[in-house]
């Protein structure tokens, strides 16, 4: 086992007990990247010299301080290339931003930097995390497949052991879906829990920053760094637990193997003593996908206006259509969408009253899609993003093509402690051998 194989939590423990240095870990990650990235293409920018220098600085601080100042001290992190890191280009995978080097870290980067993390580099993304050009990234387990998107590079980098944790973002399904495809963990916190400034915005009522890791502890460590309400990194797994299995209103979009995975997961949990029930979402939820589209495109109109005014028709038709084309959402339709979302939030949370502790759904419709032209269907994620609830992706099975399939668990808004405690109990039962 190489240092690059360690999860963030394992690496953190090793740094704390003195058996690992940040420099050793960073060099190991860089060697893995050197060996693998010519094929995986997860990284859009990497400065090995700077990363090693930063790691050495961390090691000095850790020695002086008598130990790491936080669990993230010395841990390398990948940053999706719509998020600013001082001195590294933020290209948004757009031809118009190839030379754009921000002078300041995004707020979310400042938080991990203050915690002592090492920013390893930038990871490839779908253009503006929303449309246009796809990332060059391939699926680490089968280069003929997409790793998903838009957090393509971050998911592949964590899945392929280039880096233990990485930032992703989700406006529809850009964080949770690639976690499923790559067999890794992801935490999408409650909307507006992590500060957005310094990241490229698309639809502010939806845009959420989250994290990939290779264990529940990894994403819990990030949640603790952001001081999400009530999150205690050392909190134990839930002792008693009721899980509501839910196919979502969009089960017809799932591959058969995905629904079998959910059923089989339920059986394994029940066999281990978890109370498992089947739950259905309210009838109206089948409309939420369309409501999500309206909010995303409606707010996207404001967010692509400056690009459109500057670039005109040189901008990808995907973005032009949000400003002046077929994707412009009329006022009445947009009001209806916001109100339906708000009603949906209350209905979803009512399901937890006297109901399950967490709801468990597929985190994608199936395995990673073939080819790189599609990053997959985000229907299992978009309506939940609209509802602002926190989501935690857990690997659960291997699909017909040998690629991972996962589940996402759902809790009420701002109840990340419940989500993490449940995930700690569920993950070993769902993914005993780290698919």
User: Which of 94, 169, 182, 201 is close enough to bind a copy of itself by CB under 8 A?
Assistant: 201
User: Which of 96, 343, 347, 429 is close enough to bind a copy of itself by CB under 8 A?
Assistant: 343
| DSSP per residue, 260-274 | HHHHHHHHHHHHTT-
User: Which of 111, 360, 382, 407 is close enough to bind a copy of itself by CB under 8 A?
Assistant: 111
Pairing of strands 118-123, 43-46: antiparallel
CB of 293 to a copy of itself, least distance (A): 15
| Torsion, CA 87, CA 92, CA 93, CA 94, rounded to 10 | -110
- Comparison of 49 and 346: residue with beta carbon closer to a copy of itself: 346
CB of 321 to a copy of itself, least distance (A): 14
Q: Could you say whether residue 69 binds a copy of itself (CB under 8 A)?
A: no
The answer to whether 174 touches 168, Cβ cutoff 8 Å, is: yes
In the block, tokens 């300041």 appear at 104
Q: Could you say whether residue 195 binds a copy of itself (CB under 8 A)?
A: yes
Q: Which pair of tokens denotes residue 355?
A: 């109901």
Q: Could you say whether residue 96 binds a copy of itself (CB under 8 A)?
A: no
Active site residue 150: yes
Sheet holding 391-398, edge to edge: 43-46, 118-123, 76-80, 165-170, 208-213, 185-188, 391-398, 404-410, 358-362, 242-245, 275-278
Active site residue 321: no
Distance CA 133, CA 110 (A): 28
Which range, of 141-149, 153-161, 210-218, 407-415, touches a copy of itself by CB under 8 A?
407-415
Q: Which of 130, 174, 215, 321 is catalytic?
A: 174
Which range, of 22-30, 338-346, 373-381, 422-430, touches a copy of itself by CB under 8 A?
338-346
Distance CA 432, CA 215 (A): 11
The answer to whether 215 touches 394, Cβ cutoff 8 Å, is: no
Q: Could you say whether residue 330 binds a copy of itself (CB under 8 A)?
A: yes
b/e map 301-319, b = 16+ CB within 10 Å: bebbeebbeebeeebbebb
Q: Which of 7, 44, 150, 151 is catalytic?
A: 150
Q: Could you say whether residue 172 binds a copy of itself (CB under 8 A)?
A: no
The answer to whether 414 touches 190, Cβ cutoff 8 Å, is: yes
Q: Could you say whether residue 235 binds a copy of itself (CB under 8 A)?
A: no
Q: Could you say whether residue 309 binds a copy of itself (CB under 8 A)?
A: yes
User: Which of 176, 194, 221, 296 is close enough to bind a copy of itself by CB under 8 A?
Assistant: 194
CB of 416 to a copy of itself, least distance (A): 9
364 φ/ψ angles, rounded to the nearest 5 degrees:
-160, 165
Q: Could you say whether residue 259 binds a copy of itself (CB under 8 A)?
A: no
Active site residue 215: no
Q: Could you say whether residue 339 binds a copy of itself (CB under 8 A)?
A: yes
CB of 295 to a copy of itself, least distance (A): 9
CB of 225 to a copy of itself, least distance (A): 9
Cα 411-364-190 angle, rounded to 5 deg: 30
Q: Which pair of tokens denotes residue 45?
A: 């920018």
CB of 410 to a copy of itself, least distance (A): 15
Q: Could you say whether residue 346 binds a copy of itself (CB under 8 A)?
A: yes
Q: Could you say whether residue 7 binds a copy of itself (CB under 8 A)?
A: no
Q: Which pair of tokens denotes residue 386?
A: 């609209």
Pairing of strands 208-213, 165-170: antiparallel
Query: Mind telling me the catalytic residues?
Result: 80, 150, 174
Binding footprint of a copy of itself on the chain (CB under 8 A) = 100-104, 107, 110-111, 114-115, 192-197, 200-201, 204-205, 226-227, 229-230, 299, 301-303, 305-306, 309-310, 323, 330-331, 334-335, 338-339, 342-343, 345-346, 349, 388, 412-415
């Amino acid at each position: 086992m190489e240092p690059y194989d360690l999860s963030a939590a394992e690496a953190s423990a090793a740094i704390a007990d003195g058996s690992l240095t940040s420099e050793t870990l960073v060099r190991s990650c860089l060697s893995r990247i050197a060996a693998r990235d010519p094929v995986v293409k997860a990284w859009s920018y990497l400065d090995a010299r700077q990363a090693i220098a930063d790691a050495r600085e961390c090691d000095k601080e850790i020695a002086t301080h008598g130990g790491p100042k936080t669990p993230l001290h010395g841990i390398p992190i990948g940053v999706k290339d719509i998020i600013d890191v001082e001195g590294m280009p933020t290209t948004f995978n757009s031809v118009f931003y190839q030379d754009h080097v921000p002078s300041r870290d995004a707020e979310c980067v400042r938080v991990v930097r203050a915690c002592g993390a090492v920013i390893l580099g930038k990871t490839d993304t779908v253009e503006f995390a929303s449309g246009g050009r796809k990332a060059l990234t391939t699926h680490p387990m089968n280069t003929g497949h997409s790793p998903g998107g838009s957090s393509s590079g971050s998911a592949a980098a964590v899945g392929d052991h280039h880096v233990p944790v990485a930032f992703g973002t989700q406006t529809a399904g850009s964080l949770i879906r690639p976690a499923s495809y790559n067999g890794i963990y992801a935490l999408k916190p409650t909307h507006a829990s992590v500060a957005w400034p310094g990241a490229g915005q698309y639809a502010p009522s939806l845009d959420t920053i989250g994290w990939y890791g290779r264990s529940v502890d990894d994403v819990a460590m990030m949640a603790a760094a952001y001081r999400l309400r009530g999150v205690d990194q050392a909190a134990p797994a839930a002792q008693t637990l009721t899980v509501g299995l839910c196919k979502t209103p969009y089960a017809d979009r799932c591959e058969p193997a995905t629904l079998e995975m959910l059923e089989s997961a339920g059986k394994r949990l029940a066999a281990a003593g978890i109370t498992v029930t089947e739950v259905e979402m309210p009838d109206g939820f089948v409309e939420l996908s369309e409501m999500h589209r309206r909010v995303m495109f409606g707010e996207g109109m404001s967010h692509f206006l400056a690009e459109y005014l500057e670039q005109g028709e040189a901008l990808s038709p995907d973005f032009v259509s949000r400003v002046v084309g077929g994707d412009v959402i009329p006022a009445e339709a947009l009001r209806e969408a916001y109100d339906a979302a708000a009603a949906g939030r209350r209905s979803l949370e009512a399901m937890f009253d006297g109901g399950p502790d967490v709801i468990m759904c597929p985190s994608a419709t199936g395995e990673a899609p073939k080819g790189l032209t599609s990053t997959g269907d985000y229907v299992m994620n978009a309506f939940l993003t609209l509802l602002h609830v926190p989501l935690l992706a857990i690997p659960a099975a291997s699909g017909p093509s040998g690629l991972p399939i996962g589940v996402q668990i759902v809790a009420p808004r701002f109840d990340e402690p419940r989500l993490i405690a449940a995930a700690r109990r569920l993950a070993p039962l769902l993914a005993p051998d780290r698919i």
